[in-house]
Structure 1
Amino acid sequence: MKKELIEINDLENISPVFKGKTGNRLAKFVIRLFAMDRVNKLYERSCNCSGPAFAASLLNDLDVNYRIGNAERLSQLPEGAFITISNHPYGGLDGIMLIDLMASIRPDYKVMVNHILSLIKAMDVNFISVKPKGNTEIGITSKNINGIRTTLSHLQEGHPVGFFPSGAVSDLSLRDGCVRDREWQESIIKLIQSAKVPIVPIRFFDQNSPFFFSLGLINWRVRLIRMPYEVFNKSKQNPRIGIGNIISVEEQKQFTDYKAFRTFLRDSVYKMPKPEVFIPRKELNLENAASNSESDEEMNMPQNVFEVN
């Protein structure tokens, strides 16, 4: 397991300006300037762990004690395969929180992630990686067909999968005057629709700093450079996560048009009422929820099958 999350060769792959002796010196300067070295040290302290253990270690190190609304719904998770859908306001830490939460209940839970999150090799056991071409990519290229096949196979074998249907961190919309995901990807919506398994909406009620999103008005690459700083400002935020009502397969059948289905799924996240009570992560009885889920599976074998608005 490599000890650094962001290495010089990662920057070399982004741009030829970082190649050679002069380029490598520039890369080292950029790594220090944009707090990537702090991220590397954070990663090094937890990289001997993997999967949900890594996620928990990282969150503890950062002192991020997220809170869960409608936590009782975690004990009602379907047995066998199901899908979670989430907004993507953090662009990285939200994936870590999802693994910490869901894989503590279902260790077989995996999340489809983009190439940025896939750099976290300690999370390989819970990540399915795809690689969009860029911030405006609205589909998954043929190069990612293995990721799609892995996802479908994982679901058909009775395991849960999580999706960030936008495929990229949320944007600041001047027209709407709020932070929102870009349009959810057609390919992901059609994949979810074809899976025919229960869907659990999960909403992150908080977000990165206003400065982070304002940088996106300049260029998404400029905003991306700021992302390492955003990892270290969540301890005071105590991020809030809401668990939505489970969407049954029967309820999904009323949507034959993927666009209507996409609107329905997006609304299930963004129009989720804010829970009145949020339980801190460290007070959640995830072991009990996991036991309930395991008991259900023994009785029922899985079938194959700036404000945020």
Structure 2
Amino acid sequence: MSEKKIDIKKAIQSKYKGYLPGFLYRWIQRLIHEDELNQMMELQHEVGGVAMGQKIIDYLGITCEIIGAERLPKPEERTLFVSNHPLGGADGVIYAALLGAHYEGQLRIMVNDVLMNVYQFQDIFLPINKYGQQARQSIQLINQALESHLQLLTFPAGLCSRMNKEGQVRDTEWLPSFVRMAVQHQRQIVPLYFEGQNSPRFYRWAKLRARSGWKFNAELILLPSELIRAKGKHYRIYVGDPIPYPTLPSPKEAPAFAQHLRDSLYSYPQKYSQL
């Protein structure tokens, strides 16, 4: 059987139906370090997402810690974790390794369906697809997971964090659908704050793309190389207090609740480091 590899051309074509010339694909392949990423993938062979996450962390020399691990729910407590999304790739890998191991593989993470091209994570990642038949399949898989006794994690912003006018790395607006999910499926919400950020280059690209009015999310092309740039870094994850589902707001109040919860995450380092 031939080795499965990351094919950025195939991944782009699955999301962007417009024409891109061949030289642009080749430039993107160099930009994202496609060869290096595939070398890393080949070292791992046919492993699952939890093991793959830990192998990538070890390969890159990443260290990480969970602040407030004692507040993590017990496996029998059905939970919907919600987190900011500062890195857009490495944070998902680290969550797969750390939380996936903590819950002995009984964790599923909702991610952009492009990440499903990393085949080793297909047992732990749930694809979010917004279009056509794949969207219906995605919704079905997510609902099945919500109805199960698995633990789930979602990034309500959808996109990874951007830099605001004040120079702060912050999530974009949180979609309030996670509130409905928690209420409908009787899951407590546990907020997580992932402390970290991408390179200045990523945020420059994001600003330039936004100013140009180009709808294609060009800065996402950099996310694989941002994973490589995470070599040797240390990350902290802060666990917030659980929010029981009976206390969650009505659908009308959910958007304001979602933004308030998002904003509160950025106080977690000060709040929980003192405990």
Question: Same fold per TM (> 0.5)?
Answer: yes
> Which residue of structure 1 lines up, in the alignment, with residue 162 of structure 2?
171
CA contact (8 A) 1:244 1:268 kept: no
Output the CA distance in 2 between the equivalents of 1:12 and 1:81.
37
Q: Secondary structure at the match of 1:43?
A: helix
Distance apart, 1:26 and its partner CA:
5.1
Letter in 2 for 1:196: Q
Say if 1:41 and 1:152 are closer, same or farther in 2 by CA, change over 3 A: same
Any gaps of 5 or more consecutive residues in structure 1? Answer: 134-140, 278-309
> Which residue of structure 2 lines up, in the alignment, with residue 45 of structure 1?
43
Letter in 2 for 1:50: G
Q: Secondary structure at the match of 1:48?
A: coil
Say if 1:33 and 1:208 are closer, same or farther in 2 by CA, change over 3 A: closer
CA contact (8 A) 1:81 1:156 kept: no
Any gaps of 5 or more consecutive residues in structure 2? Answer: 211-216
Output the CA distance in 2 between the equivalents of 1:195 and 1:268.
24
> Which residue of structure 2 lines up, in the alignment, with residue 195 of structure 1?
185
Letter in 1 for 2:44: S
> Which residue of structure 2 lines up, in the alignment, with residue 306 of structure 1?
none
1:246 aligns with 2:237: no
- 1:179-229, Cα deviation, whole Å (9 max, x unpaired): 111111243443334332111111111111122112100116342232222
CA contact (8 A) 1:65 1:235 kept: no
CA contact (8 A) 2:162 2:169 kept: yes
Output the CA distance in 2 between the equivalents of 1:222 and 1:156.
35
Greater shift in the superposed pair: 99-108 or 86-95: 99-108
Distance apart, 1:242 and its partner CA:
0.9
> Which residue of structure 1 lines up, in the alignment, with residue 142 of structure 2?
151
> Which residue of structure 1 lines up, in the alignment, with residue 229 of structure 2?
233
CA contact (8 A) 2:78 2:187 kept: yes
Q: Secondary structure at the match of 1:165?
A: coil
> Which residue of structure 2 lines up, in the alignment, with residue 82 of structure 1?
79
1:208 aligns with 2:205: no
Letter in 1 for 2:112: N
Give the 5 Å matches for 1:84-163.
84-106=81-103, 107-132=105-130, 143-163=134-154
Aligned length: 264
Give the 5 Å matches for 1:224-303.
224-252=220-248, 257-274=253-270, 275-276=272-273
Distance apart, 1:43 and its partner CA:
1.8
Distance apart, 1:148 and its partner CA:
2.4
Output the CA distance in 2 between the equivalents of 1:184 and 1:52.
27
Distance apart, 1:99 and its partner CA:
1.0
> Which residue of structure 2 lines up, in the alignment, with residue 299 of structure 1?
none
> Which residue of structure 2 lines up, in the alignment, with residue 9 of structure 1?
10
- 1:13-47, Cα deviation, whole Å (9 max, x unpaired): 445334xxxx2x65344312431222222222224
Q: Secondary structure at the match of 1:125?
A: coil
Output the CA distance in 2 between the equivalents of 1:43 and 1:243.
30
Output the CA distance in 1 between the equivalents of 2:199 and 2:83.
19
1:219 aligns with 2:209: yes
Letter in 1 for 2:117: L
Output the CA distance in 2 between the equivalents of 1:211 and 1:95.
20
Q: Secondary structure at the match of 2:169?
A: strand
Q: TM (normalized to structure 2)? A: 0.84
Output the CA distance in 2 between the equivalents of 1:260 and 1:34.
37
